A and B are shown apart, each in its own frame.
Chain A
Amino acid sequence: MAKITFITQDDETITLEADSGSVMELATENNIKGIDGDCGGVCSCATCHVHVEPSFFDKVGEASEIEKDMLELDDNVTEYSRLVCQIEISQELDGVVLHVAK
């Protein structure tokens, strides 16, 4: 099981556990505020934007070209931005902290 922590815009901290699926699915199933996942996870809506806590960015990894193109036009993009529908849950992710973007 990987523990994944979300910090919402309201500064609420929620830690969830899972071993498969995408981080977006985990977040929407648990009603994490600010992660909508409107498109169901195909990288078309950009409603699952997070800023990865910098010290964990290596664990999560870089966005693909298509994901970067989506993020490029988001007003709140940073070098630590990711769309969590594109992050698959594995043991590797254990302990990561994700800040839900505006």
Chain B
Amino acid sequence: MKKSALPDPFEQARVEKGYGEINDQNDPVTMILRLKDVRKCAHNWKSFQSGAKPGRIVVPSEVNIRDTRQIPFEVDPPQHGEYRALVEAWFKRPLEDEYQEQLTQQISEIVDEALAADSIEIVEEFSLKLQSRALTLLLNIQYQESETWIAWGTHVFRSEDDPLDGEKASILYDYIDEQIDRAIENPGEDLYSVLLASEVDGRKLTREEVKGVMILTFAGGRDTVINAVTNSIAYFAEHPESLNQLREKPEIVGKAVEELIRYFAPLTHMGRVVTEDAEVCEHAVKADSRISLCWASANRDASVFENPNEVVLDRKVNPHVAFGFSHHKCLGATHARQILKTLLAVLAEKVKAIDILDYQENIEEWGEFQRKVGYDSITVKFSAQE
């Protein structure tokens, strides 16, 4: 097994039953494992809702550490559509030239630093920095603010020994409260200010709603982007031929990003609350229980993907669900895609080889399933293109 491989722990259950069961703080979850079932359930918001008690659709559940509703994430149609319309254009800004130039500059700088070092621990010293600095572009705030987020470390929401550490979570919630206060006193052109001035249903967004969008923006794009960037470095370390392929055919970079994201599935799954007794792949799910849409399993479904456990960098048809599906598909996907496209282009341009020196895998436990989602740490050495 290659060090960069992410095995698929769901295969047997997916083929034989189509679901798995996990207990989570006495609020059990039926994990939906097949691509078509995952898509259907994601689309069917009436039977499988997101607008439940805040935190309940997240697995592990955050109901005990969070009261603020994340928006638009924890709202169902039709209200969901109004919130989504409000923020959609802002989250498409990564398509603008100036945004892309700044992102290229940021990522080139980080790669240059890595090339200059004897060795570098990727999670803390590369991916966290890259993610935090890029987030200043998405929020349209000063670059220096990223220093604060980098100082939080990778475990601001999830400490090493307790995935649901309320004290850690409150660092973020308190920070966002302060930032909203600042934007109220001194409005600018940042996301906080834009949201505070926005209207829904002919009224201004409430402070709590603004907070809900901001928590989503911070939380949704942190571990996921860090894992995607880190896993990309690990992948290219063991696949120098793929860096060559990108150098020779830069036009495949978009396909390469989709394929890496399919393979990595940085978010393993997301839950829904069942509103009425229902059946998924001939399995009964009860009202007020939970299901989860297992993006990681669906992305390896051999009934749809040929050679699902291989990275085929220029895979042409790739209907993956790594960014979710339907109404609630990832709001930050444009930003995430742009980060990865830029990273791949910069690596292809500057880097000849990457050697893995040491690593510690990050293994998630979901009932009977153990899934590697990335690394707790991975130290590498970069070598420059001549």
CA distance in complex: A73, B42 (Å): 10
Contact between B319 and A42, CB atoms less than 8 A apart: yes
Contacts of B321 in A (CB 8 A): 44
- Encode B339-380 as 1/0 by CB contact (under 8 A) with A: 000000000000000000000000000000000000000000
Measuring CB to CB, which residues of chain B are less than 8 angstroms from any residue of chain A?
A: 36, 39-40, 43, 254-255, 257-258, 262, 304, 315-321, 323, 325-326, 329, 333-334, 337
Count chain A residues whose beta carbon lies closer than 8 angstroms to a beta carbon of B. 14
Contact between A44 and B320, CB atoms less than 8 A apart: yes
Contact between A42 and B316, CB atoms less than 8 A apart: yes
Contact between B254 and A43, CB atoms less than 8 A apart: no
Contact between B319 and A41, CB atoms less than 8 A apart: no
Q: Which residue of A lies closest to B39 (CB)?
A: A73
Q: Which residue of A lies closest to B254 (CB)?
A: A40
- Encode A44-78 as 1/0 by CB contact (under 8 A) with B: 11000000000000000000101001100100000
Given contacts A45-B329, A66-B304, A69-B36, A40 and B258 within 8 Å (CB-CB) = yes
CA distance in complex: A45, B257 (Å): 14
Given contacts A40-B258, A42-B320, 19 further A-B contacts (CB under 8 A): A38-B333, A39-B254, A40-B254, A40-B257, A41-B255, A42-B258, A42-B319, A43-B317, A44-B318, A44-B320, A44-B321, A44-B323, A45-B323, A45-B329, A66-B317, A69-B304, A73-B43, A73-B325, A73-B326
Candidates B319, B334, B337; contact of A66 at CB < 8 Å: B319
Say how far A49's CB is from chain B's closest CB, in angstroms. Answer: 13
Contacts of A39 in B (CB 8 A): 254, 258, 318
Candidates B43, B315, B325; contact of A42 at CB < 8 Å: B315
Contacts of B257 in A (CB 8 A): 40
| 23 A-B contact pairs sorted by A residue (CB < 8 Å) | A38-B333, A38-B334, A38-B337, A39-B318, A40-B255, A40-B257, A40-B258, A41-B255, A42-B254, A42-B255, A42-B315, A42-B316, A42-B318, A42-B319, A42-B320, A43-B318, A45-B329, A64-B317, A69-B304, A73-B39, A73-B43, A73-B325, A73-B326
Given contacts A39-B258, A41-B254, A70 and B319 within 8 Å (CB-CB) = yes
Q: Which residue of A lies closest to B320 (CB)?
A: A44
CA distance in complex: A75, B39 (Å): 13
Say how far A65's CB is from chain B's closest CB, in angstroms. Answer: 9
CA distance in complex: A38, B36 (Å): 21
CA distance in complex: A40, B336 (Å): 13
Contacts of B36 in A (CB 8 A): 69
CA distance in complex: A97, B244 (Å): 40
Given contacts A66-B304, A73-B326, A44 and B258 within 8 Å (CB-CB) = yes
CA distance in complex: A43, B35 (Å): 14
